[in-house]
Amino acid sequence: MAHDAQNNHREGEGVLYVVATPIGNPGDITVRALEVLRDADLIACEDTRRAGVMLASHQIKKPLLSYFEHNEDRRVPDLIERLQAGARIALISDAGTPAISDPGYRLVRAAHEAGIRVAAVPGASAAIAALSISGISTNRFAFEGFLPSRDSARRSALEALRRESRTMIFYEAARRLGDSLSVMAKIFGADRGAAVVREITKTHEETVRGTLAELAQQFTRDQALGEIAIVLEGAPSKDVASDGAHSNLTVEDLTEAGLSLKQASALIAKLTGASRRDIYNQALKLRREPN
């Protein structure tokens, strides 16, 4: 058993290891990750075939159990029971760090709630890798994951980030990249700086920097391929300051003061620059939701 992999592990005590795996280049797996995978009693993974290929390349043969978004509810109780019985289980995703825009956090939460030790085995993360080579400020950043696929939901999600001053990191499907960049240009401004980073650590890795308008034009014209991360500059401080006086004002505040829902939506839209229709629809949705 690898001494540093177990970190004060007591015999018979179950441990859940959250193990990062390469996002492209197979050489990016860490020595510690290999030690943990070799010592695990069971490896929970998104795709047993893909995991099997990766493990075989390192001469590792272990029992595999599929664990992905649509079977989490069924798998978590079984995995917790095994951990409580003393199993050492490694959780991996298809690529990168588990639970980061991947299944995993429900199992991690359940393990904590059951008093089971959870240990990180850090390594590759596409979001952090993209940020590090983007040339955009790294002092403060927000990871936003995948945008909604539906146009209206995507626009609403981006409208909510209009005044975000931190650098933002998004994942996006290659086929939607041009459309998403075009919407970003309309909402955040055509001159906002961004970087499109694709195929990180792979043979055709590429970083394309420019304004949102330039990037939208390029990737609308030329279909991108591969895995995509978008790194976007935060809002300029002057924009955030101009919005500050109204940042806490809501539709509900205005309707309680006597305005109609349409009037309140129009006023909020005028103050923030957001879409009146999106504000109105979001307010309707909130009113329909049970308290």
190: domain CATH number? 3.30.950.10
Segment 123-151 mean pLDDT: 95
Q: How confident is the model at residue 283 (pLDDT cuts 50, 70, 90)?
A: confident
Q: Could you tell me the two tokens for 126? A: 């596409």
Domain boundary among 197, 214, 237: 237
Instruction: Quote the number of domains for the chain.
Output: 3
Q: Which of 58-67, 80-89, 217-226, 242-251 has the lowest mean pLDDT?
A: 242-251
Residues 217 and 107 in one domain: no
Q: How confident is the model at residue 37 (pLDDT cuts 50, 70, 90)?
A: very high
Residues 179 and 259 in one domain: no
**What is the domain range of residue 271?**
245-285
Amino acid 8: pLDDT: 53
Residues 114 and 133 in one domain: no
Residues 37 and 79 in one domain: yes
Q: How confident is the model at residue 129 (pLDDT cuts 50, 70, 90)?
A: very high
Asked whether residue 54 is assigned to any structural domain, the reply reads: yes
Residues 152 and 210 in one domain: yes
Segment 144-170 mean pLDDT: 93
Residues 209 and 138 in one domain: yes
Percent of the chain beyond pLDDT 90?
A: 71
153-157 long-range contacts, CB within 8 A, separation 24+: 154/180, 154/183, 155/183, 155/187, 155/275, 155/278, 156/278, 156/281, 156/282
Adjacent-strand bridge partners of 265: none
Asked whether residue 143 is assigned to any structural domain, the reply reads: yes
Asked whether residue 291 is assigned to any structural domain, the reply reads: no
Higher pLDDT, 116 or 264: 116
Q: Which of 5-9, 43-47, 90-94, 247-251 has the lowest mean pLDDT?
A: 5-9
- At which residue do the structure tokens 């927000």 appear? 142
Asked whether residue 15 is assigned to any structural domain, the reply reads: yes
Residues 116 and 138 in one domain: no
Amino acid 271: pLDDT: 72
Judged against a pLDDT cut of 70, whether residue 245 lies above it is answered with no
Amino acid 9: pLDDT: 55
Mean pLDDT of the chain: 89
Asked whether residue 217 is assigned to any structural domain, the reply reads: yes
Asked whether residue 290 is assigned to any structural domain, the reply reads: no
Per-residue HEC secondary structure of the chain comes to CCHHHHCCCCCCCCEEEEECECCCCHHHCCHHHHHHHHHCCEEEECCHHHHHHHHHCCCCCCCEEECCHHHHHHHHHHHHHHHHCCCEEEECCCCECCCCCCCCHHHHHHHHHCCCEEEEECCCCHHHHHHHHHCCCCCCEEEEEECCCCHHHHHHHHHCCCCCCCEEEEEECHHHHHHHHHHHHHHHCCCCEEEEEECCCCCCCEEEEEEHHHHHHHHHHCCCCCCEEEEECCCCHHHHHHHHCCCCCCHHHHHHCCCCHHHHHHHHHHHHCCCHHHHHHHHHHHHHCCC
Residues 219 and 147 in one domain: yes
Amino acid 25: pLDDT: 94
Residues 192 and 223 in one domain: yes
Higher pLDDT, 159 or 285: 159
Cβ-contact 196, 224 below 8 angstroms: yes
